[in-house]
Amino acid sequence: EEVLKEAQELGYAESDPSADVDGLDAARKMAILATLGFSMNIDLDDVRATGITEISKEDLDFSKKLGYTMKLIGIASRTGEKVEVSVQPTLLAESHPLASVNDEYNAVYVYGEAVGETMFYGPGAGSLPTATAVVSDLVGVMKNMRLGVNGRSAVAPQYKKNLKNSSEIYSKYFVRLHVKDEVGVFANITAIFSEYGVSFEKILQLPLKDQEMAEIVLVTHLASQQNFEQILQQLQDYNKVQVIKSTYRVEGEGVL
C-alpha cells in the first residue's frame, strides 16, 4: 500500500491502479505486440494475465538469494506455428537484460532467429513521457492526413490464430512450500516431481522458528505448464504440505 501510494504520487500508477497491479495494462500491450509481431489476431482474452498483488517480501528476498530479480513480464513466444502470450511476475536471472530495467522505465526485449537479441528501452510512465507519446501519435495522424493515406488500406493478419495449450508451454518454476519437518517428507515431495519427469535446479530448506515446520524453496528445470499444474495439485493433496506459499515462472540462470 505504501509503495503504491508513492507510485501514484509520482504519476507512475493510475488513481485506479488495478490495470497496473493486476497486469491488465501489460496484457493489452502484449496482445498488440503479439498481433504485430506474429501477424496473428491475438485478443486480450488470449493473454493469460497474473498481477503483482500476491508477491510478498519473502518472495523477493528468496529471489535475490538465488540470483534472480522479480519483474512483471509480458511474454509472447512463437514455436513453429503456435504462440504463447502471457503476463506474470517472473524471476529473471540478474544477467538477463530485462533485470536491469527499474523505476519508471520499460523495455521490450526481442529474440529473433536472424537478429538474435535486441532491446528497446525508455521511460514508460510519468506526465512528460506520456505526453510525448501522445503528441507523437497525433503528429503521425496529421502526417498521414496530409499524405491522404488515412483509412485507405488495412493489413489483415497473415496467419490463423494458433495458441499453445498447457502441455506445449515450457518453463522453469520457483516453488515455495511450508511442510512438516519430518523424516521422509522431502523424499516424498521429490517423488511427486519425479513422477512427471521434473528435476530440481536449486533447493533451499530452512527451519521455521517456533514451529515444527520447514520452508522449502525449489527452482525446477524445464517443465510443461500442464505437468507443473498437476504437481501443484498433488502437493496440495499431500497432508505433510501445510501451504504452497508461492509459485513463479523463472527465466535464465541464477546462482547457487
Q: How many CA atoms lie within 13 A of 92 on its CB side?
A: 19
What number of other Cβ atoms are within 10 A of residue 205's Cβ?
Answer: 13
* Angle made by CA atoms 211, 213, 214, in degrees to the nearest 5: 130
Q: Looking at the annotation, which residues are catalytic?
A: 29
124-155 as b/e, with b when 16 or more CB fall inside 10 Å?
Answer: bbeeebeeeeeeeeeeeeeeeeeeeeeeeeee
